[in-house]
Amino acid sequence: MTTTSSTARTPMRTSRRRARGRQRWIGWAFVGPFMAVFALVLVAPVVYSIGLSLFREQLVGGTAFVGLENYGTALADPKFWEALGRVVLFLVVQVPIMLGIALVASLAIDSARLFASSFFRISIFLPYAVPAVVATLMWGFMYGTRFGLIGNLNDAFGIELPAPLSGSWVLASIGNIVTWEFVGYNMLIFYAALRVIPTDLYEAAALDGAGAFRIIRNIKIPAIRGAIVIAGIFSVIGSFQLFNEPNILKSIAPNAISTYFTPNMYAYNLSFSGQQFNYSAAIAIIMGLVTAVIAYVVQLSGSRKEAVR
Amino acid sequence: MTTEATVTEAITTARGTERRAGSRQPRLHRSVRRGSTVQRRSILLTIVMGLLALYALLPLFWLLVNSTKTQRALFSSFGLWFSGDFALWDNIVQTLTYHDGEFVRWFGNTLLYVVVGAGGATLLATLAGYALAKYDFPGRRAVFAVVLGAVAVPGTALAVPTFLMFSQLGLTNTPWAIILPSLISPFGLYLIWVYASDAVPSELLEAARIDGSGEFRTFFTVSLRLLAPGFVTVLLFTIVATWNNYFLPLIMLSESTWYPLTVGLNSWNAQATTAGGEAIYHLVITGSLLTIVPIVVAFLFLQRYWQSGLAAGSVKQ
């Protein structure tokens, strides 16, 4: 970079300055490829869909600029609100259950009081490797009341268990699939955070006569707050984006899962069955905003508690 | 920039763990200390955790058991135990040859997406994360802020607009429609960025510069070697993301030629409910088993990397 054959003073200085200028920009040679693809697959679609959401396809005369009309329509659309309400309900129930189990499991593994703890760590984490499609297909088969495990149980005990794929239970059944997929993943996030807590903190606490539960409450949980907030944010984002599981279950439970079961399914079906691309784009943008705001609030509340402490 | 702080914190946490896992000493210390104080192994706690492990493993056991059954036995037998003829090999052969071997084709497609998509994503993220850590260049902060914001953008909310844009560009129904979007891993960029600030000493780069080595040569001959653990972690994450990718290919592809395994399997499953479609549940189940075997094996062999990378709270997709 900085080598130069010239011995004359002035040219050398300029070439060095030029080299330093090039040096200043060399970072872009590394960042450039990433940013180019990033612009194409992330920035451009956002801009494009904001543009789309401001227009309307008309029967006569092509597209017309309608400003925020699509957003107004969405906010007055009962299907959109039903879908949003469903994922909010899902989030409020499923996320705490999943993170709670994950937290207890990680504390158990970290406590060194388990037999074969590495077996538990690996086996509980394993479902994360299973594609959502395969997970949903498996659980979908097992949920079956005619054949499948629920059917087996009903036959064996002569009972009538609630059908997991019926209208009133299907959301809980989806919650179970999502919990199964991600509980081990969140467990490992917590576990990794637990393992870097300095051990002398425990020693000091034990000397002061603190029991295991006090150590958990007063040392361990505060110490991994950052990891809990991050897991929370990603679970919130995941809930709002809920699509794969209900969309796959729809083929075996068509009556229980509507085309607007979640906001994402609604946007998808508006585009691919209804050809309402402009309206679909507006819904996608609204969901993007809602997700960003909620993720931000979760993070804010997480760090505020930390500041108070 | 509170997000920055949180993410960084999580990643440093992850790396701390890795360091700790690398050296055996502190761990031994800890268990000795614990053994000597009040704590003993608890049978009750082990049983409770056993139930959770059972919950995690039961569906996989179900899959294994049922891939050995014929379609008839599937409907007539108890789900959690073997029954009838052992039809696993027959099922595998049928899965691989059904419809002129489309399963094999989908398997090949998935491999293509994983190699080009995950490999490319890891390379791009490594180059960019390294530059953010080691070079001060105009617009560096802007790059960081933009990429950070992208993590909050829900991926699937973007899928429909991306489809519309790609169809204008004539990219739908081609492998590019799957590969291009999977080339971006903002999380991978963070991980490498944090990793590189520590793992690659600036003095080393300065020394290489004085020796007259170009920046890219230094990167490929010196830095990349130091970045290897971070690189492998990011590679594993992107491999799982591309192997499990469903929504994007579902939208982008209308013909089965370029399907990955996930979309293909779902189309087999859905075919039973369409008019005149043949029910092939035994093939769906065997195909599912064949789909997860490679990734589960990769997980078990490379778990050391997973455990260090996971704490960074990867993107759930």
A124 vs B contacts (CB less than 8 Å): 49, 52-53, 56
Give this prediction's pTM.
0.83
Predicted confidence (pLDDT) per residue in B47-104, tens digit: 999 999 999 999 999 999 989 888 878 777 777 788 777 888 889 999 998 988 899 9
CB pairs under 8 A, 24+ apart, for B27-35?
B29/A199, B30/A112, B30/A199, B31/A112, B33/A199, B33/A203, B34/A112, B35/A112
Q: B91 exposed, middle or buried (CB, 10 Å; 0-12, 13-18, 19+)?
A: buried
Helix/strand/coil for A65: strand
Strand pairing category for A55-57 and A63-65: antiparallel
pLDDT of residue A1: 42
CATH topology of domain B2-40+87-310: MetI-like fold (1.10.3720)
Whether residue B127 and residue A31 make contact (CB cut-off 8 A), yes or no, is yes
Decide if pLDDT at B15 tops 60. Answer: no
Range 160-219 of A in CB contact (< 8 A) with B: 180, 182-185, 188-189, 192-193, 195-196, 199, 203, 206, 212
Residue B145 in tokens: 């802020």
Closest CA to B139 of A206, A30, A139: A30
CA distance B146 to B125: 14
Closest residue to B9, CB basis, from A139, A226, A292: A226
Of A160-174, A269-283, B5-19, B191-205, which gets the smallest average pLDDT?
B5-19
The backbone torsions φ and ψ at residue B193, rounded to the nearest 5 degrees and listed phi first, read -60, -50
Closest residue to A227, CB basis, from B56, B57, B311: B311
Whether residue A199 and residue B33 make contact (CB cut-off 8 A), yes or no, is yes
Decide if pLDDT at A61 tops 70. Answer: no
CA distance B175 to B131: 29
What does the pLDDT average to over A143-159?
Answer: 76
What does the pLDDT average to over A258-280?
Answer: 88
Decide if pLDDT at A94 tops 90. Answer: yes
φ/ψ region of A115 (left if φ > 0, alpha if ψ in -120 to 50, else beta) reads beta
Q: With an 8 Å Cβ cutoff, is A143 touching chain B?
A: no
Report whether A86 contacts A262 (CB < 8 A). Answer: yes
CA distance B300 to B295: 9
How many Cα atoms sit within 13 Å of A12 on the Cβ side?
Answer: 7
Helix/strand/coil for A55: strand
CA distances to A4, A11, A209, B206, B216 from A15, rounded to whole Å, are 8, 6, 69, 18, 20
CA distance B51 to A131: 23
Predicted confidence (pLDDT) per residue in B69-81, tens digit: 888 787 777 777 8
- Tokens 């830095």 locate to B223
Q: Where are the domains of chain A?
A: 9-53, 69-308
CA distance B290 to B304: 24
Closest CA to A178 of A99, A296, A291, A258: A99
Share of chain A above pLDDT 70, in %: 89
Residue A71 in tokens: 């957003």
What does the pLDDT average to over B4-23?
Answer: 41
Tally the residues of chain B. 317
pLDDT of residue A252: 81
Average pLDDT of chain A to the nearest whole number:
83
CA distances to A22, A98, B50, B51, B57 from B44, rounded to whole Å, are 65, 21, 10, 11, 20
Predicted confidence (pLDDT) per residue in B244-301, tens digit: 889 889 989 988 899 999 999 999 988 877 767 778 888 999 999 999 998 888 878 7
Under DSSP, the state recorded for A220 is I
CA distance B14 to A82: 39
Average pLDDT of chain B to the nearest whole number:
79
Whether residue B161 and residue A124 make contact (CB cut-off 8 A), yes or no, is no
Q: With an 8 Å Cβ cutoff, is A20 touching chain B?
A: no
How many angstroms separate the CA of residue A307 from the nearest CA in chain B? 12
How many angstroms separate the CA of residue B60 from the nearest CA in chain A? 8
Q: Say how many C-beta atoms besides its own lie within 10 A of residue B278's C-beta.
A: 10
Q: Where are the domains of chain B?
A: 2-40+87-310
Closest CA to B176 of B100, B104, B120: B120
| Band of pLDDT at residue A10, cut at 50, 70 and 90 | very low
pLDDT of residue B39: 59
Q: What angle do CA A141, A144, A146 make, to 5 degrees?
A: 125
Report whether A242 contacts A34 (CB < 8 A). Answer: no
The interface predicted TM-score (ipTM) is 0.84
Name which CATH class applies to A69-308.
Answer: mainly alpha
Report whether A150 contacts B294 (CB < 8 A). Answer: no
CA distance A132 to B229: 27
Which residues have C-beta within 8 Å of that of residue A10, sequence separation ≥ 6?
none
H, E, C per residue of B284-296: HHHHHHHHHHHHH
Decide if pLDDT at A92 tops 90. Answer: yes
How many angstroms separate the CA of residue A119 from the nearest CA in chain B? 9
CA distance B234 to B192: 8
Of A131-135, A162-166, A183-187, B59-63, which gets the smallest average pLDDT?
A162-166
CA distance B117 to B111: 9
